[in-house]
């Protein structure tokens, strides 16, 4: 991912972007804070820690100011690491893909990741495991296929694909142009033709209440119905922006879905960490109060010798 792409994907958490639990400034769910605090509680002062695919530092944001650890972070996007450094002082940052981490074998007491390593594919976990020192551990929260987040993403992706297929935005621009032309007969005719599209998006909102489809319909209705207060360029400009947002949303949701790991994927990851000398490697669904489905896999493993 390019530097400039990072904030478009992860920083934003408005209606069209962002992740359920984690955005670039994320890590807000209390269960995540509890999870990471328990991990850090077992460490000695001076422990050397690496956060892989750190984003803007959601994991380290759970540390007290007096932590006394030697903190390192990597991400493929320099922009993410800049945001991390602005937010948390004293972290050594290195731009790197999670599949090729520029550190010596066994150079960290703890290697962590939250919805990060998996973006580089299953093979990247062995690379993170390579860095775990004797007596150290790897701890990661990993996107889980068909879990709470992935199920939401699947539903939202289907509706975003539907928006693109019915060319909702293009038809909305056409309707706007006609409405501002002052030709009433033509506007009435185009409005009639637009009704089935509105119906399709309304049905999508019944199936899946949140997502770009819901945001787009509500926003367009408001602008179109109140168009006398606006210029044509305001309404068309907003729709053109929404079309760009739609492309980004499709890309982001597809990437997140591709990164979500199944039970078989996790079994292979566990086996590869064991093959790289880690013991007690466990991948368990991470459930939280209030969500029927797990929000992640919790992956843990230790290097005994
Ligand atoms: C969902 S965000 C999670 C960020 C952070 N760990 C958190 O919990 O907020 C995914 C992060 O992975 C990074 N990323 C994506 N592909 C990567 C790769 N191949 N190698 C390293 N980082 C990657 C992105 O730049 C982004 O910061």
pLDDT of residue 42: 86
Radius of gyration of the chain (CA): 23
Average pLDDT over residues 188-215: 97
Q: How far is the CA of 115 from the centre of ligand 1 (A)?
A: 7
**Mutation choice for ligand 1 from 116, 149, 256, CB with most ligand atoms inside 8 A:** 116
Structural domains for the chain = 3-145+260-302 (3.40.50.150), 148-256 (no CATH)
Q: Is the per-residue pLDDT at 14 higher than 50?
A: no
pLDDT at 122 over 50: yes
Output the CA 97–ligand 1 centroid distance in Å: 9
Closest by CA to 68, choosing from 43, 93, 36, 32, is: 43
Distance CA 46, CA 55 (A): 23
135 CA to middle of ligand 1, Å?
Answer: 27
Residue 29 has pLDDT above 60, yes or no: yes
Phi, psi of 90 (to 5 degrees): 80, 20
69-112 tens-digit pLDDT: 999 999 999 999 999 999 999 999 999 999 999 999 999 999 99
- In this structure, the strands spanning 48-52 and 70-75 are parallel
Please work out whether the CB of residue 58 comes within 6 Å of at least one atom of ligand 1.
yes
Task: State if residue 26 touches ligand 1 by the CB under 6 angstroms criterion.
Answer: yes
**Ligand 1 atom nearest to 23, measured from its CA:** 9
pTM of the complete model: 0.88
Ligand 1 neighbour 35 (Cβ under 6 A):
no
Percent residues over pLDDT 90 in the chain: 87
What is the spatial distance between Cα 244 and Cα 8, in angstroms, rounded to a whole number?
11
Residue nearest to atom 13 of ligand 1 (CA): 53
pLDDT band at 18 (very low <50, low <70, confident <90, very high): very low
Output the pLDDT for position 30.
86
pLDDT tens-digit series, residues 153-186: 999 999 999 999 999 999 999 999 999 999 999 9
Q: Which atom of ligand 1 is nearest to the CA of 6?
A: 25
Question: 10 in ligand 1 pocket by Cβ < 6 Å?
Answer: yes
Indicate whether 3 pLDDT > 90: no
Q: Is 6 in the pocket of ligand 1 (CB under 6 A)?
A: yes
**Among 256, 250, 257, CA closest to 160:** 250
Q: What pLDDT shows up at residue 6?
A: 75
Structure tokens at 289: 């109060």
CA angle 240, 241, 242 (to 5 degrees): 90
- pLDDT at 289 (0 to 100): 85
At residue 281 the predicted structure's pLDDT band, cuts being 50, 70 and 90, is: very high
Residue 24: per-residue pLDDT: 37
CA nearest ligand 1 atom 15, residue: 119
Instruction: Confirm or reject: Cβ of 152 under 6 Å from ligand 1.
Output: no
């Amino acid at each position: 991912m390019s530097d400039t792409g990072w904030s478009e994907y992860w920083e934003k958490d408005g209606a069209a972007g962002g992740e359920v639990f984690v955005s670039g400034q994320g890590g807000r769910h209390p269960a995540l804070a509890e999870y990471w605090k328990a991990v850090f509680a077992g460490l000695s002062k001076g422990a050397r820690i690496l956060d892989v695919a750190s984003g803007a530092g959601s994991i380290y944001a759970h540390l007290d100011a007096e932590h006394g650890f030697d903190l390192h972070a990597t991400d493929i996007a320099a922009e993410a690491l800049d945001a991390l450094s602005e937010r948390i002082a004293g972290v050594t940052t290195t731009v790197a893909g999670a599949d090729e981490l520029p550190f010596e074998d066994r150079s960290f007491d703890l290697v962590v990741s939250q919805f990060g390593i998996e973006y580089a594919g299953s093979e990247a976990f062995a690379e993170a495991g390579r860095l775990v020192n004797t007596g150290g551990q790897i701890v990661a929260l990993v996107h889980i296929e068909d879990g709470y987040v992935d199920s939401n993403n699947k539903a939202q992706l289907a509706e975003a694909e539907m928006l693109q297929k019915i060319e909702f935005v293009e038809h909305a621009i056409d309707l706007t142009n006609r409405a501002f032309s002052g030709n009433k007969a033509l506007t009435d005719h185009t409005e009639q033709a637009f009704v089935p599209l509105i119906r399709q998006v309304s049905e999508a909102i019944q199936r899946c209440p949140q997502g770009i489809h819901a945001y787009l319909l509500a926003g367009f209705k408001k602008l179109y119905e109140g168009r006398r207060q606006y210029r044509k360029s305001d309404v068309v400009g907003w729709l053109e922006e929404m079309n760009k947002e739609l492309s980004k949303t499709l890309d982001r949701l597809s990437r997140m879905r591709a990164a979500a790991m199944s039970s078989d994927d996790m079994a292979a990851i566990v086996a590869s960490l064991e093959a790289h000398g880690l013991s007690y490697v466990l991948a368990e669904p991470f459930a939280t109060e209030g969500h029927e489905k797990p929000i992640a896999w919790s992956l843990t493993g230790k290097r005994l010798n």
